[in-house]
Structure 1
């Protein structure tokens, strides 16, 4: 016969003492601790994001194609403008594509801004293996 206590609600299961271990008491919730842990996690993620953006993002190096001209069967001339840090240099990758979208030529060039300037406007010839349809600047990054 199992032992029953007056504090057990009728219909609640009664387990033999010691057989299933001690029952847990309902724990106190700690919302302040959860909020602090969440805030700390968000702060760490924010710091990591800023570090990675500074390391891999290039907000100081932007390029815009002004025009592409001089299209022949073996070249295209791309005129473009690059924004660099004041007095800095950038290495830019230019490419030429044919009408069907295939790359038919590319060249890497380094541009340097005059002292005190942030913008460089330049022209670069891109040699091609077939007639190009368009000339474009793929990316610019810090020179070196």
Structure 2
């Protein structure tokens, strides 16, 4: 003899009692614990990444071109300012381009700040293969 529940819709299978364990009530399950654990894990990973970046990440090496002067057929003089860590140094890549935007010269220059200072103002004469139109600082980085 099978047991029939009043909550079973007509045509639904009826299982013998005790044979398959307790049946769950139909309804929406909310996975609250896994979601909270995932959010906590992401927050911990983000906090760890920020802490490691502030501890070991590269400091900002910001460069600005002040002027480019003395333009001839074979050179340009570039005056630039670099922000470095206090008393530190930087290696900057300078580039000269012609009026048609072709690169006509480039060179890496090392600049060093005085002890306790964060900015370095430098002047460099960049040799070119033809007449330059502009002199620029592409990037600065920590010395190797």
Q: TM-score range by the shorter chain?
A: 0.7 to 0.9
Q: Where do 5+ consecutive residues of structure 1 fail to align?
A: none
Normalised TM-score (structure 1): 0.77
Map of 2:78 onto structure 1: 78
Please give the secondary structure, in 2, of the residue aligned with 1:139.
Answer: strand
Please give the secondary structure, in 1, of the residue aligned with 2:79.
Answer: strand
The 10-residue stretch of structure 1 (66-75 or 29-38) with the greater mean CA deviation from structure 2? 29-38
Superposed CA deviations along residues 38-81 of structure 1, whole A, max 9, x for unmatched, are 1221220342255357655432x111110111111111111001
Inter-partner Cα distance in structure 2 for 1:50 and 1:127:
43
Inter-partner Cα distance in structure 1 for 2:22 and 2:70:
84
Inter-partner Cα distance in structure 1 for 2:73 and 2:37:
65
Please give the secondary structure, in 2, of the residue aligned with 1:63.
Answer: strand
Inter-partner Cα distance in structure 2 for 1:76 and 1:41:
51
Number of aligned residues: 138
Normalised TM-score (structure 2): 0.77
Please give the secondary structure, in 2, of the residue aligned with 1:36.
Answer: helix
- The answer as to 2:110 corresponding to 1:110 is yes
Tell me if structure 1 keeps the 8 A contact 2:87–2:118: yes
Q: 1:8 to 1:85 in 2, by over 3 A?
A: same
Map of 1:10 onto structure 2: 9
1:4, distance to aligned residue in structure 2 (A): 7.5
The runs of at least 4 aligned residues of structure 1 exceeding 6 Å deviation read 21-24
Q: Where do 5+ consecutive residues of structure 2 fail to align?
A: none
The two structures, once aligned, show a CA RMSD in angstroms of 2.8
- The answer as to 2:40 corresponding to 1:39 is yes
